[in-house]
Structure 1
Amino acid sequence: MALLIPVLVAVAVLILFSVFKKFQQIRKMNYYGSKIPGPPANYIMGNTSMFQNSTSHGLIELFKEEAKKARDRGNTVIRFMLPGQLLVFPLTGKSVAKLLESTTEIHKGEGYDFFDPWLGGGLLVSVGDRWKAHRKLITPSFHFAKLEGYFDVFNQESKILVECLEKFAESGETVNLHGFINRCTLDIICETAMGTKVDAQFNHEHPYLKAVEGYTAMMLEYSYSPLMWNPFLFWLMGHAKRQNELLHTLKKFTGDIIAERKASLKSGEVETSSSKRNMNFLDMMLNMTESNQLSEEDLRQEVDTFMFGGHDTTTTSCSWTCWNLAHNPEVQRKVYDELVEVCGEDSNEDVTYEQVNKLHYMDRVLRESKRLIAPVPSVDRCLQNEMEIDGYIIPAGANVSIAPVILHSNHHVFKNPEKFDPDRFLPEECSKRHPYDFVPFSAGIKNCIGQKFSILNEKVMVAHLVRNFEIEPMLKFNETLPCF
């Protein structure tokens, strides 16, 4: 009993200290947040009530609508508040430039903490010297000579995708392309980057794909649900169990791929290249692990990061490109005509690296699709130091969002932003805009390392789809909603 009292006192002190620190954080963020344009906020809960019961699409539309109001008031930044947190959106390419061009403010936003158990120190969420070292090690994986070598797989898997869809074209049955594209991109990333064929296109219930979708949905829910931030409530409400089940599936999938590749290399089933240029991504990572440049956990995290980033955003972009083509048949016809002119009339022929680089109209179509529906809605940075943007002081600890979904809907830059118009990306039109008004792959030193891979992959897939099918919509445009 004598020991119990000091323990209880210590626990009470810790709780009081935690509450005091939280109150200090709320007070600080409220002070700075009150000086930045944004919707009215409750002193303790901030703008939490605005986000309650919102779908991911609903949140995006809310942010876009508030951003439009702010721009019409002449504001170039807008803020939202959560308990003890300040989230700032620069609204123009010019206002986001200071963050994108910073070489020091590259720390991930607090929302990415949910990814730590899965991706940990991978390129997506790592910072500082670790990020710089890993980025340098991985860059050779995306050398242009290696990208050209991936075209055999791009074409092979895209043709399988066409075969999988042919029965629907013949029967006239409606089909949701997203799942088919998702499985195709997974097969492509596994074979090009991991040297492993998983045949996901023939497995419509692939557990990895379902786990990725489940985990990213949980992450978004976590970002705007303060109740989930408390570890005890997170466990009590069953979220921890669900998270652990998803993590088990995700880590097992990549763990099996790594083990299979190691075994193949050790047995001599596949040859080990001595040239970085000829190695696939996983072989490079295995080589670094053997030379102690990466630990086993580093290896798993980088492979998981590559798997997630390499197929998820390409799937989203390609799926919505098809949706936009379906609702704009005149644009689809122009894409087809360009393909016939550049690649010939035989729809079974492979698309080459040289041909893809001549598909200028398709390139504009893909850009406009990414503008209209951003594959990555936003990327957050947590400021390590105070930053001034257009006269507004944003404190250290605040999150600043590089948000394509906000920047790309700027009606002062993109007239009639709801309209699908590939000619926005004619050279003469691009020259009128700030370079950061369109940032689908972010920009600056933390831009997407795999953007060229993704673009080439998408072009080949879309080329095979458009050469073999006329894509028609079975729903009105807004009856299918983006799910980020």
Structure 2
Amino acid sequence: MFWLGFGLLFIALLLYLLYAFEYQTRIDRLTHNWPAPPSLPIIGHLHILWGLAGPNPIRRATELTTTHMKDHRLKLWMGTKLYLLDCNPKDIQALGSAQQLLQKPADYSVFENWLGEGIFTSGFEKWSHRRKIVMPAFNYAMINQFVKVFEKQSRILVDRLGDFSISGEPVDYFYVISCFTLDTICATALGVSANAQLNEKSDFLNAVKKILIIIDIKLKNIFYRNGQIFKFTRHFQREKELLKTLHGFTEEIVQRRLEELRQDEQNRNVTSLDATDLEDDRQTKCYLDTLFQATGPDGQPLSTKDIREEVDTIIFGGFDLTANALNFFMYNMTMHPEFQARCREEVWAVCGRDTSEPITLDQVRKLDFVEACIKESLRMYPPGPLVVRKATANCQINDFFIPKGANVLISSLYMGRCKEFFPDPMTFKPDRWASGAEPKIDASTFIPFMKGARSCMGQRYVMVMMKLAMAHLLRNYLFEPLGERQEKLKCSFTIMLQTVEPYRCRVRKIE
């Protein structure tokens, strides 16, 4: 019996290897014009890609693309799994809009324990339905209402940094700005305040930091993506504990908002209430309120789980990714004090020097150089450096065949640092974004928010919030390096682009 079982296993393995070899050969013929490094049978390019999981992944990825990419395209086999890296500007719009490329691949399943099947991780059908529900929550009229929240939270941030300006202690800028973005997204999109800026310590922020490490471990170890295998690792129990904190935070927010809405409904039944106040209340409808009133494809109200996964998703996208963007922006300000000074002069010219005066949306629109510095920072340090889509059917993009089942990668990090798109790419040059600057920037080469149907819904929200908050900070403080000059930060490329060590700076009050 032993030999019979061994023989059957050997035959099954042989048949699989023959199938894998035939499949790779057939797909290679169909994708023959995609440039690729030499591959090995069955394992493909795993011997090359292995180095990306080690130290200095950004440097190794740069070496790989520099050596093997042609016309900004590259084909890679990870075993029998095909990955097509396409960063050609001619392809970007088509890649972002093709119906066959709107599906997220299985790699995104590493987020599901935390984010469920929210709009970030869900398949095409669920995503398309949910997007229609949530889009109105981030239109221009809503952003106009949110400016009051941006203003309030920015002033809390200014006061918090005032303590550091008095003591002279270094600021862990990412932590401070994360508290700001968490409070802002909760107050605008969810209608309640997390009060992270007013607390000394946030268990939620700490849990996010730790679960992202676990998600990164899952991404780098394909065996850990199997739930049954992952249960036997030391990370499983830790993840369960973190999820209690994360989901508990979300559920508390949902319950608080529901209670506020119930109280508002009761107040509307009080005849002595002023009609003007009622009208003002009706205008403040947030993202979470939209979810409460929404229905699924079956016409039934969204379940508690449906609402929680969308709230988890909006919190993650709205606070952590934005905090990383603001972290890199301020890093560039201390790296380049001359540009920090120009930003401040523009803020003074547009918004005035009186720090007690609010900053309006009209003034935010006029902060062109501040916006140029934000764009330049996003070009060099996009928080989401890589987007992956799975082809649900065969398709053709500008004479390049993409077979069903292939994973298509688009890298904003590669495009932002490519010298063909941005001359002298590793130099911070905000003037390249000035009106009439040469060479003119092709919109398809700057994609920190991606392009097409699955682009970031909140990109206008984010730009307004970042410009207003940074205008307040630069109007009040000088941001300086800890030493004579700012040390260059080391970055890690995991789920998102972030600094290996916390970015710290000094804050000095402008008299």
TM-score (norm: length of structure 2): 0.84
- CA-to-partner distance for each residue in 1:304-336, whole Å, 9 max, x for gaps? 111111111110111100000111111111100
1:359 is displaced (CA, Å) by: 0.6
Structure 2 residue 158 is matched with structure 1 residue 162: yes
Q: Equivalent of 1:242, from 235, 238, 248?
A: 238
- Matched letter for residue 285 of structure 1: L
Which residue does the alignment assign to 2:488? 478
Deviations 1:4-57 (A, max 9, x none): x9xx99xx9999979966974676357646944344445444444555576798
Equivalent residues of 2:76, 2:83 under 8 A apart: yes
Moved more, 122-131 or 386-395: 386-395
Structure 2 counterpart of 1:464, one-letter code: H
What stretches of structure 1 of length at least 5 have no aligned partner? none
Superposed, 1:81-120 pairs within 5 Å as: 81-120=77-116
Aligned to 1:338, which of 334, 346, 349? 346
In 2 relative to 1, CA 55–76 (structure 1 residues): closer, same or farther, beyond 3 Å?
closer
Range moving further from structure 2, 364-373 or 392-401? 392-401
Change in Cα spacing, 1:435 to 1:237, as seen in structure 2 (3 Å) is same
Is the deviation greater in 249-258 or in 260-269? 260-269
Q: Distance in 1 between matches of 2:418 and 2:354?
A: 41
1:428 aligns with 2:427: no
TM-score (structure 1 length as normaliser): 0.88
* Residue 302 of structure 1: aligned partner: 310
SS in 2 for 1:365: helix
Q: How does 1:206-285 map to 2 (within 5 A)?
A: 206-268=202-264, 278-285=284-291
Q: Does 1:146 align with 2:154?
A: no
Shift in CA distance, 21/346, structure 1 to aligned 2, threshold 3 Å: farther
Q: Which amino acid aligns with 1:66?
A: L
Contact 1:265 1:271 in 2 (8 A): no
- Are the equivalent residues in 2 in contact too, given 1:154–1:461 (CA < 8 A)? yes
Cα deviation for residue 196 of structure 1 reads 1.2
2:23 is the counterpart of 1:28 = yes
Unaligned runs of 5+ in 2: 269-277, 497-511
CA–CA separation in structure 2 for the residues paired with 1:430 and 1:307? 38
For 1:457 and 1:55, the matched residues in 2 are separated by 35
Q: Look up the equivalent residue of 1:62 and give its one-letter code.
A: R
CA distance in 1, matches of 2:160, 2:10: 58
- In the TM superposition, what are the counterparts of 1:311-326 in structure 2 within 5 Å? 311-326=319-334
In structure 2, the residue matched to 1:444 is 452
Q: Mean alpha-carbon deviation: is it higher for 152-161 or for 202-211?
A: 202-211
Pair 1:195 & 2:191 matched: yes
**Partner Cα separation in structure 1 for residue 67 and residue 440 of structure 2:** 23
Q: Distance in 2 between matches of 1:185 and 1:19?
A: 54
Moved more, 317-326 or 398-407: 398-407
Distance 1:134 1:197 in 2: 24
Which range moves more in the overlay, 156-165 or 449-458?
A: 156-165
For 1:258 and 1:170, locate their aligned partners in 2 and report how far apart those are by CA, in whole Å. Answer: 38
- 1:368 aligns to what? 376
- Structure 1 range deviating more: 278-287 or 332-341: 278-287
Using the TM superposition, give the Cα deviation of residue 351 of structure 1 relative to its aligned residue in structure 2, in angstroms: 1.2
Once structures 1 and 2 are overlaid, which stretch shifts more, 185-194 or 468-477? 468-477
Residues 225, 51 of structure 1: CA spacing in aligned structure 2 closer, same or farther, 3 A cutoff?
farther
CA distance in 2, matches of 1:373, 1:30: 38
1:308 & 1:449 partners in 2: Cα distance?
Answer: 14
Q: Percent identity?
A: 29
Q: Is the contact made by 2:100 and 2:393 (CA closer than 8 Å) also made in structure 1?
A: no
CA contact (8 A) 1:314 1:454 kept: yes
Deviation at 1:386, TM superposition (A): 2.4
- Residue aligned with 2:238, SS: helix
Structure 2 CA distance for aligned equivalents of residues 298 and 23 of structure 1: 43
Instruction: Indicate if the aligned counterparts of 1:317 and 1:375 stay in contact, CA closer than 8 A.
Output: yes
**Please, which moves more after superposition, 19-28 or 126-135?**
19-28
TM superposition shift of 1:271: 6.3
1:186 partner amino acid:
L
Could you tell me whether the CA contact under 8 Å between 1:32 and 1:393 is conserved in 2? no
Deviation larger for 367-376 or 263-272: 263-272
Aligned to 1:471, what secondary structure does the other structure show?
strand
Q: Which amino acid aligns with 1:239?
A: H
Cα gap change, 1:104 to 1:393, in 2 (>3 Å): closer
> How big is the alpha-carbon RMSD for the aligned residues of Structure 1 and Structure 2?
3.2
User: What is the rounded CA distance, in whole Å, between the counterparts of 1:16 and 1:429 in structure 2?
Assistant: 65
- Partner residue in 2 for 1:60: 58
Q: CA deviation at 1:430?
A: 7.9
SS in 1 for 2:82: strand
Partner amino acid for 2:491? L
Q: Rate the CA distance shift 1:48–1:163 in 2: closer, same or farther, 3 A.
A: farther
The answer to which of 366-375 and 105-114 deviates more is: 105-114
Identify if the C-alpha distance between structure 1 residues 289 and 224 changes in structure 2 by more than 3 Å, giving closer, same or farther.
Answer: same
Quick one: which amino acid aligns to residue 207 of structure 1?
A: D
Q: Which residue does the alignment assign to 2:425?
A: 417
Q: SS in structure 2 opposite 1:478?
A: coil
Deviation digits for residues 272-318 of structure 1, max 9, x if unmatched? 88998530111121122698342222111111111111111110111
User: 72, 75, 84: which is aligned to 2:71?
Assistant: 75
The alignment status of 1:355 with 2:351, answered yes or no, reads no
> Could you say what secondary structure the match of 1:294 adopts?
coil
User: After the TM superposition, which residues 454-473 of structure 1 pair with which residues of structure 2 at under 5 Å, given as runs?
Assistant: 454-473=462-481
Query: Structure 1 residue 121: deviation in Å?
Result: 2.6
Q: Give, in whole Å, the separation in 1 of the partners of 2:16 and 2:186.
A: 46
8 Å contact kept, 1:93–1:438: no
* Cα drift, residue 109 of structure 1: 2.3
